[in-house]
Amino acid sequence: MPRYGASLRQSCPRSGREQGQDGTAGAPGLLWMGLVLALALALALALSDSRVLWAPAEAHPLSPQGHPARLHRIVPRLRDVFGWGNLTCPICKGLFTAINLGLKKEPNVARVGSVAIKLCNLLKIAPPAVCQSIVHLFEDDMVEVWRRSVLSPSEACGLLLGSTCGHWDIFSSWNISLPTVPKPPPKPPSPPAPGAPVSRILFLTDLHWDHDYLEGTDPDCADPLCCRRGSGLPPASRPGAGYWGEYSKCDLPLRTLESLLSGLGPAGPFDMVYWTGDIPAHDVWHQTRQDQLRALTTVTALVRKFLGPVPVYPAVGNHESTPVNSFPPPFIEGNHSSRWLYEAMAKAWEPWLPAEALRTLRIGGFYALSPYPGLRLISLNMNFCSRENFWLLINSTDPAGQLQWLVGELQAAEDRGDKVHIIGHIPPGHCLKSWSWNYYRIVARYENTLAAQFFGHTHVDEFEVFYDEETLSRPLAVAFLAPSATTYIGLNPGYRVYQIDGNYSRSSHVVLDHETYILNLTQANIPGAIPHWQLLYRARETYGLPNTLPTAWHNLVYRMRGDMQLFQTFWFLYHKGHPPSEPCGTPCRLATLCAQLSARADSPALCRHLMPDGSLPEAQSLWPRPLFC
């Protein structure tokens, strides 16, 4: 059986630190790059002889070379190589206008697609059937986006011929405006009085239900997702997919989610539920809008059935849409827009959300509400920060005005003396640079008001510490990244419970501790066994933390730098009790610890104390972090 160089795990974030320092992507990014490259080449071949079109491939955010500086070095070289140094501005604009018009025509899009499929096969990026499906799924939106961004006459000619001819502003940086109200002096929360009420919040993330999961099928098939109808049977020497799930590139059958929800008893009761998205499976090469909506409604109904009257507050994940990661900001209207998805979400989640929250959910997939007096919950649509959301090529400046809206909410909360929780799917350290830096600034400005932040998406159990912007030394916030419900890839199924300073007047609403529960798949899949969801660990007890405030997590990272045993514990829990067989050596350990300090993308300074001799970049290039999401 042929082996394919990459899986379709392109839905993962690829921030700078996760790539080799030389900018080469790891295997998971290969498919994306291949697809982009394929489309670029296809455009070039199908539409004109202008190899100009290679340049946009370099500029694509999904390719690791998407740094403007690098781009500006490449362009003049291309100009010499291809001999279009004498291209004039009017000719350039005329050329791109023609390309743009050409791409409006259906047959040209199809031609682009067919070349992309050929390349996908040639480069063995995925099995032929997967290549075919995924190109068909992406080509329309991708070509539309390219037409409106990198291939628009102004952008393209601005890039090629300089600012006299156009304006290249793909992923240009931008700044949010903060209110002129001076920042109050930092005031860390004081511990709650003994006996003060404590809330328990159930935290579900990355359920990834696979409708086609099938026990006994091949867990190690050629496709990007296995253990399912179409995966084929394993050779006689290897066992097939387990009944409850599998330690492989597989998602979960509905019965495992049902078992999770029905087995919550010992972990409860819960005061509320935060649920941060990624409902459908990773079969991203052939998902239809119907498939995604079926996942949304089926799993929402299941959650309601088992949690009954407990309020559930969801956030939108990157897998909710199809094509995966495709979240056009509100300026895209009509059939390309996310309307089909947000409308269905508003309908499915209506019992849990007030009218004002449903209104903003319909527009941009984000909302705010007050679960308790004195607490504001903000659910962000982190797809607007995503490096993988190709719609942001058109305009990545504060998509949907979400961050400016967040500032408004935080200022209003500060004025009222309320506390705020933020939930979202993609963690801030994995975002596009400008978004991430702006978010970091907002967190620092509202450190007294922002009591907690909760994310998912990486599928592993980790956190991100925020520091003051001036010195990058004083920890002032921490975002918790909870592990996934799904096994993808090679993990135990699991969920998280947060204990929060409870619902009483002047509560700090900060996290007091957290617990992680898993299903031990090895035990559950033994024939005749009854699935048993067990407590894996409690954070404070396991790590010996005095509390779960930002400084405690900062200290934990530096303790783990020197204490191998402690790091091994973290590494085991990071994978929900099922770590990979290869041990985590020094580069792996440093890259993992650096990630816990990097709540802001592209900020190597945040890890400067991990390796005082400056060898961290080297460690990171030796160990590009594997991605699970």
Ligand X SMILES: *[C@@H]1O[C@H](CO)[C@@H](O)[C@H](O)[C@H]1NC(C)=O
Measured between alpha carbons, how far is 589 from 585 in angstroms, rounded to an integer? 6
Residues 100-139 as x/- pattern, contact with Zn ion by CB under 5 A: ----------------------------------------
Report if residue 490 touches ligand X, rule: CB under 6 A. no
Q: How many residues bind ligand X (CB under 6 A)?
A: 18
Q: Is position 457 annotated in a ligand binding site?
A: yes
Closer Cβ to ligand X, 455 or 517, answer by number: 517
> Which amino acid, 72?
H
* Residue (of 66, 69, 83, 74) closest to 25 by Cα position: 66
Taking CB under 5 A as the criterion, which residues in 441-460 touch Zn ion?
Answer: 457
Closer Cβ to Zn ion, 388 or 501, answer by number: 388
Residues 168-207 as x/- pattern, contact with Zn ion by CB under 5 A: --------------------------------------x-
The string of DSSP letters for 493-532 reads -EEEEEEEE-SSTT----EEEEEEEEE-HHHHTSTTPPP-
Closer Cβ to Zn ion, 341 or 629, answer by number: 629
Which residues share a beta bridge with 533?
Answer: 519
Contact 226, 241 (CB under 8 A): yes
Q: Is position 554 annotated in a ligand binding site?
A: no
Does residue 452 sit in helix, strand or coil? Answer: strand
The half-sphere exposure of 605 on its side-chain side, counting CA atoms within 13 A, is 10
Report if residue 163 touches ligand X, rule: CB under 6 A. no
Interface residue with ligand X, options 239, 373, 544, 546 (CB under 6 A): 373
Write the burial class of residue 258 (CB in 10 Å: 0-12 exposed, 13-18 middle, 19+ buried).
middle
Interface residue with ligand X, options 5, 76, 83, 417 (CB under 6 A): 83
Does residue 535 sit in helix, strand or coil? Answer: strand
> Among ligand X, Zn ion, none, what does residue 278 contact (CB within 5–8 Å per kind)?
Zn ion
> Among Zn ion, ligand X, none, what does residue 629 contact (CB within 5–8 Å per kind)?
Zn ion
CB of 612 to Zn ion, least distance (A): 34
Report if residue 175 touches ligand X, rule: CB under 6 A. yes
Report if residue 44 touches Zn ion, rule: CB under 5 A. no
Write the burial class of residue 235 (CB in 10 Å: 0-12 exposed, 13-18 middle, 19+ buried).
exposed
Name residue, tokens 């799917």: 425
> Among Zn ion, ligand X, none, what does residue 239 contact (CB within 5–8 Å per kind)?
none
> Which amino acid, 476?
L
Q: Is position 425 annotated in a ligand binding site?
A: yes
* Token couple for 538: 């409690």
* Token couple for 150: 């990198």
Q: Is position 430 annotated in a ligand binding site?
A: no
Which residues share a beta bridge with 419?
Answer: 375
Report if residue 147 touches Zn ion, rule: CB under 5 A. no
CB of 46 to ligand X, least distance (A): 21
Sheet holding 272-275, edge to edge: 312-314, 272-275, 198-204, 494-501, 511-519, 533-538
Report if residue 173 touches ligand X, rule: CB under 6 A. yes
Q: Please choose, out of 80-88, 301-309, 471-479, 610-618, the segment that lies near ligand X by the rule CB under 6 A.
A: 80-88
Residues 277-306 as x/- pattern, contact with Zn ion by CB under 5 A: -x----------------------------
Q: Is position 468 annotated in a ligand binding site?
A: no
The half-sphere exposure of 468 on its side-chain side, counting CA atoms within 13 A, is 9
Measured between alpha carbons, how far is 110 from 125 in angstroms, rounded to an integer? 20
Interface residue with Zn ion, options 259, 318, 379, 507 (CB under 5 A): 318
Supply angle C-alpha 15, 471, 469, rounded to 5.
55
Report if residue 629 touches Zn ion, rule: CB under 5 A. yes
Binding site for Zn ion (CB under 5 A): 206, 278, 317-318, 457, 629
Pick out the residues of the known binding site.
206, 208, 278, 318, 425, 457, 459
Pick out the residues of the known binding site for Zn(2+).
206, 208, 278, 318, 425, 457, 459
Binding site for ligand X (CB under 6 A): 83, 85-86, 173-175, 289, 335, 372-373, 395, 397-398, 503, 520, 522-523, 577
